[in-house]
Amino acid sequence: MALLSEMGYEVYSKAYSHRVTQAMHRRLTAMNSWTRVGDNAEMVAWKDLRLDFCPYPLDVGLEHFYTGQKECYALLLHYGSETVTEDLPGWFSFYNGRQTIEAGVKEGKHVFQVHHLKVRSEAGLAIQEEFSALAANLVRWATLWLHEQCPGARPPFDQPQASVKQMVRVAANTSALVFWQTEALVVAIP
């Protein structure tokens, strides 16, 4: 974090050590009030806090949420000019919006595999990575479109946001009849 701060970046991160999160949880007092930041999450924050692992003051946000019945905590860290501690729902939403991007990266590695040995040039690899991201986005678009067009569809096509991996697995292993009618291509699944 220190290096990115010194390079002039606005840094948004999460504390990966549970010990830092536990230390911040112990710091809570009756003076701290939780702010609802999502359907299942609350947050409390400290502005310009000095932590042992970073020489610069950080904005620190402690999240409290549930996964099923399990109570969980996470710690968001920020360095920069944005006043994130004044808009906790905005900070939470901005940070967690990265999950879609990270999921796309993971899909590129697992669902639409990019093998570096298939191409020999840097430009070819870049094009291959872009097509992997495009393929994942097309599957997302098609999933939403199918959900809107086929209200009685069977799982997983009945969900507007089914996972890309699941959609590809089901569609790749489904037999279908494909034929043209007057002005449309018809895909019939028996």
Q: Render pLDDT for 37-50 as a digit per residue (tens, 0 to 9).
A: 988 899 999 999 88
Torsions phi, psi of 80, nearest 5?
155, -170
Which of 125 and 10 is assigned the larger pLDDT? 10
Q: Would you say the pTM of this structure is higher than 0.85?
A: no
Torsions phi, psi of 78, nearest 5?
-145, 140
- 3-state DSSP of the chain: CHHHHHCCCCEEEECCCHHHHHHHHHHCCCCCCCEEEECCEEEEEEEEECCCCCCCCEEEEEEEEEECCEEEEEEEEEECCCCHHHCHHHHHHHHHCHHHHHHHHHHHHHCCCCCHHHCCCHHHHHHHHHHHHHHHHHHHHHHHHHHHHCCCCCCCCCCCCCCHHHHHHHHHCCCCEEEECCCCEEEECC
Q: What string of DSSP letters covers 132-159? A: HHHHHHHHHHHHHHHHHH-TTPPTTTTS
Domain boundary assignment for the chain: 2-96, 120-188
Give pLDDT, residue 108: 59
Which of 158 and 85 is assigned the larger pLDDT? 85
Q: Render pLDDT for 94-131 as a digit per residue (tens, 0 to 9).
A: 888 777 666 666 665 667 766 555 667 778 777 877 78
Q: Determine how many CB atoms are found less than 10 A away from the CB of residue 161.
A: 10
Average pLDDT of the segment spanning 17-41: 85
